[in-house]
Amino acid sequence: MATVLLLRHGRTTANASGGLAGRQPVELDDTGRAQAARAGERLKELPLAAVVSSPLIRCRQTLELATPGTEPVLEDGLIECGYGDWEGRPLKELAKEPLWPVVQHHPSAVVFPNGEAMAAMSARAVAAVRSWDARVTEEHGPEAVWLACSHGDVIKAIVADALGLHLDQFQRIVADPASITVIRYTPGRPFVVRVNETGELASLVPPKSDGREKAADSDAAVGGGAGGGV
C-alpha cells in the first residue's frame, strides 16, 4: 500500500495566543510560515503522488509554503474537530470547564456544546485517510507517497487508530505544528513509521526493485520499515 505523510499546519496566531481556533479562519503567524517552509525543505525530496488538505486556511497556507506549485485537493474529512461553543476561547479558561477533564481522559465520550463528538471526528478522519490511501495505491501503485495536511487532534486520532489504541488514549500522542507523521497501511494492519517527525524524510523513498525478492528480518521490514527501518 501507499505511504501517507500527515502534516500538521504551522503555528497560527491562535496557537501563539493560547486560544482554541477550531474551525475559525485563523492564519499562520511568522513562526508558522517559517515552520511550513522548513517542512517544505524536507518534503521536496519526495515524489508526492497526491496532496490533500483540510479546507481551513491555515492548512492551505502551510501547503502553499511547503509544496509550492501544487494544487491540493480539499478534503472535508480532514477538517478540524468542531469545538462548537468552545471555539475562540482561551485554553486557560476552557481548562476550568467541567468538560475539560473528560476531554483529557475520556475523549470518546465528549460531545462539544453545539459542536462535534470527538468519536465522530475520529471516525470521519480515519475513513478519509484510508479511502485516499486506497485511491492513491490503486492509481499510483504500492510504492506511492502522498501528503495530507490537517490538525493536531485529527492527526492524533488517525495515529491512535493506526496503533490500535482506543480513542481515550489519543492524548498520549503528540503532533507539533508543522510536524510530519508517517503511516503505511497494509491489508493486514497499519504500520506507524514515524511520529511527530521534524528531521529528514529522504529514507522514506522506497528503493527501486531489481525484480528479486529479499528475505525480511522481521514483519516490520515487510510492511512497516522505510528504507531500512526507523
Residues 135 and 146 sit within 8 Å (Cβ to Cβ): no
pLDDT tens digit sequence for 136-173: 999 999 999 999 999 999 999 999 999 999 999 999 99
pLDDT, tens only, 77-115: 999 999 999 999 999 999 999 999 999 999 999 999 999
Percent of all residues in the chain with a pLDDT value above 90, rounded to a whole number: 84
Question: Residue 201: its pLDDT value, please?
Answer: 63
The reported pTM is 0.86
Nine cell digits for residue 39: 517542512
| Interval 49-70 mean pLDDT | 98
11 burial level (CB within 10 Å; 0-12, 13-18, 19+):
buried
User: Which amino acid is residue 25, in one-letter code?
Assistant: P
CA distance 126 to 162: 9
